[in-house]
Amino acid sequence: MGSIVVSELEYAPPAAEPLFFEVSFTIKPGEHAALIGANGVGKSTILKILSGELDADEGDFQLAGSMLRMTQDVGMASPEQPLREMLIEVAPPALRDAGRALFAAEAAMAAGDDDGTKYAEALTEWGDLSGYELEAAWAAAAVKSVKTPIDDFATRTVAELSGGERKRLVLELLLSAAPDILLLDEPDNYLDVPTRTWLEERIVGCPSTILMVSHDRTILERVATKIVVIEGSGCWVHGGSYASYPEAREARQKRLGDAVQRWNDEERRLFRHMKIMKQRAELNAGNAKKANAAETRWERFVKIGPPPPPVADQNISVNLRGADSARRVAAFEGVSIDDLFFPFSDEVYFGERVGLIGPNGTGKTHLMRALEGEVQPDEGVLKFGPRTSVGMFTQVHHRPDFVGRETGEIIVDLLGNEEKARKSLGRYGLADHHRQSFETLSGGQKARLEILCLEIEGHNVLLLDEPTDNLDIESSEALEQALDGFVGTVVAVSHDRAFLSTMDRFVMINDDGDVLAIPDHDLAMRALADPDAVRSLPQVKSLVDDG
């Protein structure tokens, strides 16, 4: 089995301050470690350095054994490419290069730029490196991961799979390959709750040494055996599960504070002693040697410097005010979209927190887009009550109106005041990014910016499509706390079990098109695990219209 040793790693983006420095940690063979920290501190960057995609400015690292890696945006950058081009990017290096060469030679031959010689050579290299065995592994992973059969990975495009299917396919492939080392960057994004449960079980049973980035608190508690924390421009390690991490961090903060206080007390003691000895030396020259020694001790102590102080918390402050509206906020009357689910009827009332749940591909995001007004139902009517103002948080931060604009500019336009904009950005941990363009922000920073815009716009109905997917843990908890005090109505699609526990009731769309009303979180989790087992319970009702 593999191991990971990182020593004194430092990295700064071009023309920017260092993201981190003096990052050192060790992942022993078979350990499953989680890399956590605030959005933008460099977690994904560390994985890119370990995989060879980026070069560190200082420090070194050693990966003992074979390594495979899954990026955060796997399958998202080029949805129109064939599936095989997505899958070849997570293959071992030699096979990856051979696959790229084979695809290029195939395209050249089809275009008439090759008489078949280069293609034949590439095909031979592909076979010699066990490329056909890899294709068999693709097919086996697809059977377990994709709802519709894949006959040809060269013609089936990435876009034909949902985001969750893409992630599940790649994860099935990597976890089945079980290399010595697996680097996984937010593997849970786009996965529904049953698939996240599957992921937990597969990681726990995987013999590989794993270093992963995740913001899903439930997954972290269930799979991580070690926590590597990136904060304060450096890192520290908690050698236990995430369940005990908050207490460990609190104890560490106290120790750091106590150590700084002890250093300050000792520095003052040595300084006072030196001053006293200097005064005595002025009265009696015989004390001069002792005075000089006292001064040397004090200077040496100060030169070494104090221990590191406690790391300042992010203190993300979300202030979703909202406003009153009519008692009936929205009404679904025989609504159906794209034949994804049967026509159903329901009503949403002021102040409710409604979780929209179900497996991937059942139409939850389509329904949210209908609520936003972006699409119209194919059947039925969707009505909003009076005095409702609807704001939408998009899952993939699709905001064409933000592209090419600086973060500060976006908020100034909303507030009309640069000083207020700076303060607002500061509450969301974005003050240092006010001159940064929207498209260069990290996923978590884009998410925080979207939430800030919703806050400023002052809506009383919030439609949240996977709001915590890219948020760090502290930001997710800040959002949950803000929603608890929000005067208004929330409809949210989420697969984050901790976030879902804050919802009042649930509407579940199943693979068979049924739409169920579920009254509480515990029943909702049972329904996601086994829909048939709860369908007949008296507390669970179908919302599908009769006839």
Q: Would the pTM of this model clear 0.95, i.e. be above it?
A: no
Contact between residue 3 and residue 27 where contact means Cβ atoms under 8 Å apart: yes
Name every residue whose Cβ is closer than 8 Å to that of residue 518 and which is 6 or more positions away in sequence. Answer: 357, 505, 506, 507, 508, 524, 527, 534, 539, 540
Determine the pLDDT at residue 170. 95
Confidence of residue 107 (pLDDT cuts 50, 70, 90): confident
Copy the structure tokens of residue 32: 């499953």
Average pLDDT over the chain reads 90
Contact between residue 430 and residue 407 where contact means Cβ atoms under 8 Å apart: yes
Alpha-carbon distance of 479 to 235, in angstroms, equals 25
Pairing of strands 226-231, 234-238: antiparallel
Determine the pLDDT at residue 333. 95
Q: Where are the beta strands (DSSP E) in 440-525?
A: 461-465, 489-493, 505-509, 515-518
Tell me which residue has tokens 């913001």: 215
Determine the pLDDT at residue 21. 87
% of the chain with per-residue pLDDT over 70: 98
Q: How many CA atoms lie within 13 A of 198 on its CB side?
A: 19
Q: What is the mean pLDDT of residues 87-103?
A: 93
Determine the pLDDT at residue 133. 94
Q: What is the pLDDT of residues 410-439, one digit of tens each?
A: 999 988 888 888 888 888 888 888 888 888
Q: What is the mean pLDDT of residues 519-538?
A: 91
Tell me which residue has tokens 């048939």: 532
Confidence of residue 396 (pLDDT cuts 50, 70, 90): low
Determine the pLDDT at residue 280. 86
Q: What is the pLDDT of residues 163-186, one digit of tens each?
A: 888 999 999 999 999 999 999 999
User: Which amino acid, residue 419?
Assistant: E
> What does the DSSP 8-state code read for residue 306?
P
Alpha-carbon distance of 519 to 540, in angstroms, equals 7
Q: What is the mean pLDDT of residues 439-452?
A: 85
Q: What is the mean pLDDT of residues 388-397?
A: 82
Q: What is the mean pLDDT of residues 42-46?
A: 93
Determine the pLDDT at residue 336. 94
Q: What is the pLDDT of residues 228-242, one digit of tens each?
A: 999 877 899 999 999
Q: What is the mean pLDDT of residues 382-399?
A: 84
In 3-state terms, the chain is what percent helix, strand and coil (to 5)?
45, 20, 35
Radius of gyration (Cα) for the chain, nearest Å? 28
Cα maximum dimension of the chain: 108
Alpha-carbon distance of 332 to 345, in angstroms, equals 5
Copy the structure tokens of residue 488: 């208004």
Alpha-carbon distance of 537 to 531, in angstroms, equals 11
Distance from chain centroid for Cα 83:
24
CB neighbour burial string for 178-207, b if at least 16 within 10 angstroms, e if fewer: ebbbbbbbbbbbbbbbbbbbbbbebbeebe
Nearest-5° angle of CA 391, CA 499, CA 241? Answer: 145
Total residue length of the chain: 547
Contact between residue 286 and residue 266 where contact means Cβ atoms under 8 Å apart: no
- Among 364, 360, 328, 361, which Cα is nearest to 344's? 364
Alpha-carbon distance of 540 to 506, in angstroms, equals 10
Determine the pLDDT at residue 314. 66
Alpha-carbon distance of 449 to 403, in angstroms, equals 13
Helix ranges (DSSP H) in 111-208: 117-128, 131-145, 163-177, 193-205
Alpha-carbon distance of 283 to 98, in angstroms, equals 85
Contact between residue 347 and residue 484 where contact means Cβ atoms under 8 Å apart: no
pLDDT at 15 over 70: yes
pLDDT at 340 over 70: yes
The SS3 assignment for 136 reads: helix
